[in-house]
Amino acid sequence: MAAAGNSPTRPEQRKTPRQVFHYSAAVLTEDRKKHPCKVVDISECGARIVLDSDSELPDRFVLLFSRSGGARRYCRKIWRDGLTVGVEFPVPHG
């Protein structure tokens, strides 16, 4: 996965292109704490999210797309710049 941001002088390095996607979501950590965020772009392999507050995030967490938690993606933090976080959606094992 590429570094933060898109630069007009640097070619796209992502495996699949991202689509602009403005959606309210939440990060769910292992200790069951929810951290509100916005998903600002997304692809098949990952996303860029912006946290609502400067919360500490573990390397792995669940991104909830619905209040009930029915729509979710498991994430691995790739990079962070302030409130903006780049995540990868790991391929499930099995």
The 10s digit of each residue's pLDDT in 7-39 is: 444 455 556 667 777 889 999 999 999 999 999
Number of neighbours of residue 62 by Cβ within 10 angstroms? 15
Convert the pLDDT of each residue in 47-92 to its tens digit: 999 999 998 999 999 999 988 878 999 999 999 999 999 999 998 7
User: Is 0.75 surpassed by the pTM of this model?
Assistant: yes
Whole-angstrom distance, CA of residue 9 vs CA of residue 6: 9
Beta bridge partners of 73: 63
